Structure 1
Amino acid sequence: MKFATYTVDGAMHYGAAVDGGMIPLNDTFPQWDSLLDVVKAGGLMDLEEAAQGQTPIHHEFQYEMVLPNAPRILCVGVNFPDRNAEYKDGSDQPKFMSLFPRFASGFTGHDRPLIRPPESHMLDYEGEVAIVIGKAGRRIAQKDAYDHIAALTLCNEGTIRDWVRHAKFNVTQGKNWDCSGAIGPWLVPFRDEAQLDDARIITRVNGEVRQDDVLSRMMHPIRREIEYISTFMTLQPGDIIVTGTPTGSGARLDPPQYLAPGDVVEVEVNGIGTLRNTVEDEAT
């Protein structure tokens, strides 16, 4: 089952996404104000039980970023071998992973527009799998890493490319423009390692495949990501780790092909779904 955050007539809800619409569940669980509260309480299975046999009530709605109040979002950069080769610096596989923070304000929901700012038209796409932590932990061993995952979702980790090069040692300012990326459409509860180990990422722009790779080729697998990150910080329920994007982003094409108003970007992963977004210029 899939669980989403969405709005109807300006009011925010969470519920089960099924064929034909949404089954609202927030009134059923008044103790949990948001999906983040559900994750923190370990309540996804309770939502699933409550939704069994129910019919959708909301048919007209708008998806929101699936955890709009996510406390911490960490992204893993340059995590596929072909992506590392794109830098053409002759470097071997790095011993340690690249990490940077993103904030929830930088993401919108499924079927919503990514916003291209007037300061730069170098808006790029990066299709990725994101994991949501469900159990707190520090110095988590790789063999135990998957026990700490509550759910999976998708990310288009939209980037303003020239702004990631404004400084010598960080990319934060190019990664956090309002609504430049998307996370969603929903959370899929994590039950089996095959959901990650056999996952394949495909990113399409206007129907053209731009990225296509499998998570098993990651230089730093998700078990290692959890182990490494939890070494220096205690992972908490609701934390999101965006696990890395394959080669094929617009900046690396010849010539570069950045996103423009009217474009449609789709990130598809088997077993999770498809995250779809259009592109619009920021209203000024």
Structure 2
Amino acid sequence: MRNGSPSFGAVNDTASPTASIVDLSTRMPGVRNLSDLIAQQRIGEARSIVETASPDPTVDVALSAVTYERTLPSPGKIFCIGVNYGGRNAEYKDGQDAPTKPSVFVRFPSSFTGHEQSLIRPPESPQLDYEGEIVAVIGTGGRRIARADARHHIAGLTLGNEGTIRDWVRHAKFNVTQGKNWDSSGSIGPWMTTLDEIGEFENLHLTTHVNGELRQDDTPATMAYPIEFQIEYLSTFCTLEPGDIIFTGTPTGAGARFDPPRFLEPGDVVEVSVPELGTLRNGIADEVIS
């Protein structure tokens, strides 16, 4: 949001305190947001505009002057991969061997908010937990995508906090839907980094801090099911489409795994970081019931 109106653009020099946004909504008629850009297969066109555009102070703004919505305002299918990083299976004390296929569940768009927005703890439960993740954004759709071709179907990567209401994922057997879909319990952002700026996925260093304390620390190199395999697997049973997103798994160290558990409370700040992707930051607030 810029001056109260929705807009989107490309960030120049994300590491600089004077970073700015090249506005694309005014330079690309018919494209309202990143979801539209991906659906219309126009990322290459946007890149060319950014590389050649002259600064325009009437529309281009400082990064510090915007309010963030979730990175994709209208995501398609939202897949989440569970129990994927090294050591995660051992967190489940059920005596079962490591699975041979990934755990998959889905979430709804309304369960996510944007960077610098509050994650909402509902009055029905105090067990709001964090899960820092790398999120893959599908740019080119397909069915039965080969693992070797998977990277060509990714528009870019962003960050996610796959916030969970823990006691609600245990209301019944074989489902987690209730605990994973509370409004604004998770987040996506701050932006999407295109693949030309990302090297090997295995080298990405994912960390999650709560109030400055390191809680999660890992790389995709320890994933049981790498990102490319996830695309191959998911596209086997359904067609992946531009704008679909995949939460690719969270490392060990979520609050529920401490003894006693360390759930999020109002005033806490969660930061999910990968150097190449930025930092996704969210505070915590209780839901206001009118």
Establish whether TM, by shorter chain, passes 0.5: yes
Alignment partner of 1:122 is 2:121: no
Which deviates more, 218-227 or 83-92? 83-92
Q: Superposition pairs for residues 86-97 of structure 1, below 5 Å?
A: 86-97=91-102
Moved more, 47-56 or 257-266: 47-56
Alignment partner, residue 31 of structure 1: 30
Conservation of the 8 A alpha-carbon contact between 1:146 and 1:193: no
- Whole-angstrom CA distance in 2 between matches of 1:152 and 1:54: 27
- Picking from 243, 250, 255, the partner of 1:245 is 250
Quote how far apart the aligned CAs of 1:72 are: 1.1
Q: What is residue 281 of structure 1 aligned with on the other side?
A: 286
Q: Distance in 2 between matches of 1:54 and 1:99?
A: 45
Aligned length: 278
Give yes or no for the alignment of 1:16 onto 2:10: yes
The one-letter code of the counterpart of 2:49 is A
Output the aligned Cα RMSD.
Answer: 1.4
Identify the range of structure 1 (80-89 vs 168-177) with the bigger mean alpha-carbon deviation. Answer: 80-89
Q: Gapped runs of 5+ residues in structure 1?
A: 1-6
Mapped partners of 2:197, 2:191: distance in 1: 18
2:190 aligned with 1:196, yes or no? no
Distance 1:17 1:178 in 2: 28
2:217 to 208, 212, 217: 212
Q: Deviations over 1:199-223 (max 9, x none)?
A: 1110000000000011010001111
Distance in 2 separating the partners of 1:77 and 1:30: 39
8 Å Cα contact 1:197-1:216 kept in structure 2: yes
1:4 aligns to what? none
User: How many angstroms apart in 1 are the aligned matches of 2:253 and 2:194?
Assistant: 29
TM-score, normalised with respect to structure 2: 0.92
Q: Secondary structure at the match of 1:13?
A: coil
1:193 offset after TM fit, Å?
Answer: 6.6
Q: Which residue of 1 aligns with 2:61?
A: 58
Percent identity, please: 53
Partner of 2:40: 41
Q: Gaps (5+ residues) in structure 2?
A: 13-17
The residue identity in structure 1 corresponding to 2:61 is H
**Quick one: structure 1 residues 93 and 194, their matched pair in 2 at CA, closer, same or farther if it must change by over 3 Å?**
farther
TM-superposition CA deviations, 1:149-195 (whole Å, max 9, x none): 01110000000000111121210110011100000100111137724
Indicate which of 257, 264, 275 corresponds to 2:262: 257
Would you say the 8 A contact 1:106–1:177 is kept in 2? Answer: yes
Are the counterparts in 1 of residues 198 and 276 from structure 2 also a CA contact under 8 Å? no
Shift of 1:79: 0.4
Question: What's the CA shift for 1:11?
Answer: 1.3
Shifted more, 63-72 versus 51-60: the winner is 51-60
Q: Distance in 1 between the 2:30 and 2:78 partners? A: 25
87-96 vs 146-155, greater mean Cα deviation: 87-96
Provide the rounded CA distance (Å) in 2 between the counterparts of 1:162 and 1:9. 39
1:233 correspondence with 2:233: no
State the alpha-carbon separation in 1 of the partners of residues 168 and 95 from structure 2: 24
Question: Which amino acid is the alignment partner of residue 172 of structure 1?
Answer: T
Distance in 1 (CA, whole Å) between partners of 2:54 and 2:128 is 41
Q: Is the 8 A contact 1:93 1:219 kept in 2?
A: no
Conserved? CA contact 2:161–2:272, under 8 Å: yes
Instruction: State the Cα distance separating 1:34 from its structure 2 match.
Output: 2.0
Distance change in 2, residues 1:120/1:37 (3 Å): same
State which drifts further: 168-177 or 36-45.
Answer: 36-45
| Alignment partner, residue 187 of structure 2 | 182
Residues 81 and 93, structure 1, Cα contact 8 Å, conserved in 2: no
* Higher mean displacement: 247-256 or 80-89: 80-89
CA contact (8 A) 2:216 2:252 kept: yes
Give SS of 2:118's match: strand
Look up the equivalent residue of 1:111 and give its one-letter code.
Answer: E
